[in-house]
Amino acid sequence: MPGPMIETLCLLLAGLCALAYLALTGRAPGLARSIVKTASVALLALAALLAQAPPLLAPALALCALGDWFLSRPGDRAFMAGIGAFAAGHLIYAALFLTHPAADPQALAQAPQLWIGAALAGFGIVVAAMLAPRAGALRGPVLAYVPIILGMGIAALALPAAGSLALAFPAALAFIASDLVLAIDRFMLPAGHPARRIAPYAVWPLYWGAQAGFLAAFT
């Protein structure tokens, strides 16, 4: 089967897995649920390889797929492993954004990128202050993760707001929004709060849409 056909098949299967996981996202952890969630992003990583995307894109997607596996498993240890995998993925995404031939890292020190980056940094300080007293034993990893994901978002501002690369910053914002909703759901909402039943259905479209957006930006 020619490469482009395999790439298209990977994208189709990734989308089907993403839709399938949306139907499963509110259910208790289980092996099938974890496999479907992980496959939805792992297949995007494979598509990035087949599309000969920039070399850093596939590893970033693959690390996020690994993070999906861990976050879909029960327990704090799995949650911490998931945070670590996603943090590594974000660092690679940031490197991808800053080293792309079309990137202009100096633009981060100029308006409007400077003000947008400052707003994201300020937002991160507020979120960290809210999470710190609520994260319990996970406080350290959670607080370390906040500047990493926001740094990824700020790095996306170095890319031009034209062509397919213009998708990178909105995708980064969607990623940040998905993690914000996840953090609110896990650490801030009391057990039994009605919003806790809705949150997973907001997190997943934002998150998977962000990953698909990164793939579209660089292929």
Task: Band the pLDDT of 31: cuts 50, 70, 90.
Answer: very high
pTM of the model: 0.94
185-188 own/partner pairs: CB under 8 Å, 24+ apart: 187/131, 187/134, 187/135, 187/142, 188/130, 188/131, 188/134
- Whole-number Å distance between alpha carbons of 171 and 184: 20
Alpha helices in 25-103 (DSSP H): 31-50, 57-71, 76-99
Start-to-end C-alpha separation, the chain: 20
- DSSP tag of 56: T
Average confidence (pLDDT) over 178-198: 88
159-168 pLDDT, tens digit per residue, is 999 999 999 9
110-130 pLDDT, tens digit per residue, is 999 999 999 999 999 999 999
Percent of the chain with pLDDT over 90: 82
Residue 69 three-state SS:
helix
